[in-house]
Structure 1
Amino acid sequence: MTALLAAATGILAITALAAPASSEPGPELGLPPIPAVPGLPIPSSPTDLLVPKFVGAPAQSRPIHDPPIPQNPWLSPDGTNTMHNDAYASDAYRVSGPLGQKLRVTSASYGVRECATIAFDSRGRLVGLCGGLEGFVMMVIDPVTLKPISELPTSPRNLLTARNPLTDICGGTYFFLDADNVAYPTTGQRSILKIAVEPDGKLTKQGEWSLTEHVTEDDCLIATMPDWNGRIWFFTQQGAIGTLDRQTGAVLMTQLPDGEQVTNSVATDETGGMYVVSTHALYRLDTDEAGQPAVTWREVYDRGSRTKPGNLSQGSGTTPTLLGKRWVAINDNADPQTNVLVYDRQKGATDRLHCTQPVLPADAGTTDNSLIAVDNSFIIENNYGYAGPQSTLFGKTTTPGIARVMVDDDGCHVAWTNDEVAPSSVAKASLGNGLLYAYTKPPSASGIDAWYFTAIDIRTGKTAWSRLTGTGIQWNNHYASIYLGPDGAAYIATLAGLVRLKDS
């Protein structure tokens, strides 16, 4: 199947989800119609009754004492501020998530709209940046009922361009939330918005910084992040990197080498370092006193010979993940087997590459999601074979594999490998109970597309339990992340809405 046909198939599948409640579902997919009223449950399928609802047994809480991560003063409390939880992009929560004890699963449909990035305001409400065929919308969502409280369009989508709505991450994937309940998303019009979440949940646009003088028309904004001094850094798909002084509006720029693209988020630490991975190399950047960004060090990695099915570009699919005071890790795109690469991120390091650890199956392993930092290890999830929603239709799924890589004094080693199949979930760790959460889809000879929220013991790598969310394409998360709320509830966005899981 050509890439164009694959994209078209995925778009048609999602378009089928957008049918009004009075219409008939597409016969080739057997899909229920999506409710016309936002906030109603994601529709279930008759095949829900043909698969196990719960597999395994509830877990016992075994907290993991992880090295503390410094709180960036320009972000809301860690665990609430970005897709990857904190400035280190650890993807690890201090709270205890679900243990599997009489799990209650609720959902809400928002039509064809997926909230890939979610933060939590000071009142525990969800603040989501949600994308659909029409563009991107910021939403405030009740954390229990999942009903929308308010919404504000941030960036319309131009469907006449060549960008595929299923893979387009320009101006609508990442944002951060600060301690004053103010969100900073990018737009497709090459600007950064300042949007306040008011006490009543209303969203108010407080400002906008246009970057059209600094970002070319054929480029787009991918990610933003504040450093410890409060400067907003921004990164474009074509490798332009800038700092924005939010008081004066002054912008200072640098440019990565020609041909290098940025397709993932970024991390930062208290020493002033900003870490970004391009399709060719891992970087640390710092600023001078005036805020001018510059490359401190650059490490080229093996980007392989192709864009593997499961990746959005040829290169690393990870956001740089920081661990402790010393390490930063990514994956590469090597043939035949991808590696977890762990580097010494300090400015004066001489032997920067600490280890190259092969992981996942040869010729069938890659990831397009961030690593998870837990204790002295990094966890990687296999996304090989995920080329869009059509990849998991009619009982099909992707290649299994989740692995934990331990960082030793003299290198690294694989502690365990788990055979769960997580097509595209941004997995998360709960340090509060010792569980790793992934969104999984086992293969099915009967053609049933069953999606599960799965808990894995971080210490042993053994699956503790899996809970069915639903069957059918409407339950596909399509690269959306798992989140844990301040009360320990788990959330996962799907192509049709949002799912919440919490112990009774």
Structure 2
Amino acid sequence: MRRAAVVAGLGATALLTIATSTASAFGPLPPANPYLGPAGTATMHGDAEASDTTPLPGVGAGGVNADFHEEGAACPTILQGADGLPQALCTKITDRAPEVLLLDPATGNTLAKLDLTKGSLLGGVYAYLDEQDRMVTVDGSGSLLRIGHQRGGDGSWSLSIASKTDVTQAVSGHCGGGSCDEVSSVSPDYQGRVWFATDNAAAGFVGADGVARSLVLAPGENVANSIATAPQGMAVATDHALYLLNVDGSGNPQIVWRQAYDRGPARKPGQLSWGTGATPTFFGPGSGTEYLAITDNAATKENLLVFDAASGNRICSVPAIDGTENSPIGSGNSVFVASTYGYPYPALPANAGPSQPASAPISGGMTRIDVTGSGCTVVWTNTVPSSAVPRLSVADGKIYTFTRHSLLGSGSGGLFDGSSSGSSGLGSGSAGATDNYSFAVVDAGTGKLETEQFVGATTVNDTLEMVGTIAPGRIQYQGTTTGLYRITPK
């Protein structure tokens, strides 16, 4: 089923701090990984380094068309290969099992579906496209899958498993076998190994010989986010520490360095685990991977932590945001962090634990922090209530996301309690079925909200802090709780 909406601009949210200097050019992008599809569209976070950047220009700040496609599934990962065909990894509402969708690039309609074996909640979230445009993921059976697509003689499309590698021994062997652990994320390195991490903090890789090798990062730790790979190695954050891994002389995974962080007294509302909510982000002004960033879980303000990627030495710790489940954007000397504090997730991982407080209003807000010679400096903050993982286009210098605003009353004559300027507590109301969701564009140089265009006000429009993917042709795909949007210039 498909629903189309032509949307109009709304008012801008007020800035708390505005940079006085002119916007600098962003980039460079991380180096191209030869075992990935196109830069910007091959992984959830854009590239192997999880920079959340793209070399492609976005939809822009003009009017947009927002076509919604109901799929009966939440679609956090939407990727596009060199052949131009979008692919989505979704989690079905009925049984929370993952499925892969092949989409028509001209319309966003579904061309083919493939059901996968159900695993943990995060098992239907993280995947990437390899250099042959095949989706790579690990399903609930413990198999590393490469999923291809093909067109039949009658013109119809189908999806099929091109290859399967069993990784169960490397995953569950650390806890006596059985189904005690599951792979949550995968990413290729620059030699073609497929690295993985598990819910219970085992990490390793599948090599060219098809053998999976792994180690346990630390007993009692858990992984609740994706991993990132760069020439320096594989980065993974547990709910206690940030790690860099590589391969030792015997061809086995080894820990290069470990940096513990402040995990706070408990999980915050708007987070999925007690610890960092961030996938590690490689970035830098030279090679594009000199630095490695995460957020901690300190009370009451979470810090952005930036490390030297090679040595693990900490460059800075700067108060950034109330709380977040989003990976930072990293580009050049700049890092952008968006708050998810108070965001009401409909489902949590099994070991998430209670939050303190039990619930809270969505606070909103984004921050840009630049790495300087003397450490790190806050450049701007705003009050934009981002409801998706933002994506930076280095081509146009804009940050693309969605926003979520609560209706603060009825019969007021306006969407936002009579105000569209951001001055009446936008984003501060409790979440509900009548919240408004909008496509939003932020100037990365100044933090100014350039446009905010309403797309819907029901739970099916909930973008659920999922990632938007910018495809060639100024098209953006954005998952929601029950399907996906295809956003194009009006």
- TM-score, scaled to structure 1: 0.81
Aligned counterpart for 2:445 among listed residues 444, 448, 459: 459
Aligned counterpart for 1:70 among listed residues 31, 34, 42: 31
Asked if the contact 1:397–1:442 (Cα under 8 Å) also holds between the matched residues in 2, the reply is no
Correspondence for 2:478? 492
Aligned equivalents of 1:93 and 1:206: distance in 2?
A: 28
Aligned equivalents of 2:102 and 2:115: distance in 1?
A: 12
Asked if the contact 1:63–1:433 (Cα under 8 Å) also holds between the matched residues in 2, the reply is no
Determine if the alignment matches structure 1 residue 55 to structure 2 residue 16.
no
Correspondence for 1:197? 149
Correspondence for 2:224? 263
CA shift at 1:100, angstroms?
Answer: 2.7
CA shift at 1:287, angstroms?
Answer: 0.2
Aligned counterpart for 1:294 among listed residues 254, 262, 268: 254
Aligned equivalents of 1:314 and 1:373: distance in 2?
A: 23
Correspondence for 2:50? 89
Q: C-alpha offsets along residues 85-111 of structure 1, whole Å, 9 cap, x if unaligned?
A: 001111011111112323122111112
Correspondence for 2:465? 479
- Kindly indicate which of the two structures has a greater share of residues assigned to strand: 2
Asked if the contact 1:195–1:207 (Cα under 8 Å) also holds between the matched residues in 2, the reply is yes
Correspondence for 1:333? 297
Q: C-alpha offsets along residues 113-143 of structure 1, whole Å, 9 cap, x if unaligned?
A: 0111111022222111110133110111112
Q: What secondary structure sits across from 2:460 in the alignment? A: helix
Aligned equivalents of 1:380 and 1:331: distance in 2?
A: 8
Aligned counterpart for 2:315 among listed residues 337, 342, 354: 354
Correspondence for 1:32? none
CA distance 1:276–1:377, change in 2 (3 Å): same
Aligned equivalents of 2:292 and 2:116: distance in 1?
A: 32
Determine if the alignment matches structure 1 residue 422 to structure 2 residue 386.
yes
What fraction of aligned residue pairs are identical, expressed as a percent?
32
Instruction: Between the two structures, name the one with larger relative contact order (CA 8 Å, sep ≥ 6).
Output: 2
Aligned equivalents of 1:63 and 1:437: distance in 2?
A: 18
Aligned equivalents of 1:299 and 1:156: distance in 2?
A: 33
Misfit runs of 4+, over 4 Å: none
Aligned equivalents of 1:250 and 1:374: distance in 2?
A: 35
Q: C-alpha offsets along residues 317-336 of structure 1, whole Å, 9 cap, x if unaligned?
A: 00110112421000000112
Asked if the contact 1:81–1:119 (Cα under 8 Å) also holds between the matched residues in 2, the reply is yes
Aligned positions of 1:112-261 closer than 5 A: 113-132=73-92, 133-134=94-95, 135-156=97-118, 168-169=121-122, 171-198=123-150, 201-216=157-172, 217-246=179-208, 248-261=209-222
CA shift at 1:432, angstroms?
Answer: 1.3
Asked if the contact 1:420–1:442 (Cα under 8 Å) also holds between the matched residues in 2, the reply is no
CA distance 1:356–1:100, change in 2 (3 Å): same
Aligned equivalents of 1:283 and 1:120: distance in 2?
A: 29
- TM-score, scaled to structure 2: 0.84
Aligned positions, number: 430
Asked if the contact 2:8–2:63 (Cα under 8 Å) also holds between the matched residues in 1, the reply is no
Aligned positions of 1:423-462 closer than 5 A: 423=387, 425-446=388-409, 448-462=434-448
Aligned equivalents of 1:497 and 1:239: distance in 2?
A: 30
CA shift at 1:279, angstroms?
Answer: 0.5
Aligned counterpart for 2:325 among listed residues 368, 373, 387: 368
Aligned equivalents of 1:321 and 1:309: distance in 2?
A: 23
Root-mean-square deviation (CA), in Å? 2.2
Correspondence for 2:489? 503
Aligned equivalents of 1:397 and 1:124: distance in 2?
A: 40
Correspondence for 1:34? none
Residue type at the aligned position of 1:186: V
Q: What secondary structure sits across from 1:441 in the alignment? A: strand
Residue type at the aligned position of 1:311: Q
Gap regions ≥5 residues in structure 2: 13-22, 173-178, 348-359, 411-433
Aligned equivalents of 1:323 and 1:242: distance in 2?
A: 23
Q: C-alpha offsets along residues 467-498 of structure 1, whole Å, 9 cap, x if unaligned?
A: 11111111001232111012221121111211
Correspondence for 1:314? 274
Asked if the contact 2:438–2:456 (Cα under 8 Å) also holds between the matched residues in 1, the reply is yes
Aligned equivalents of 1:308 and 1:407: distance in 2?
A: 27
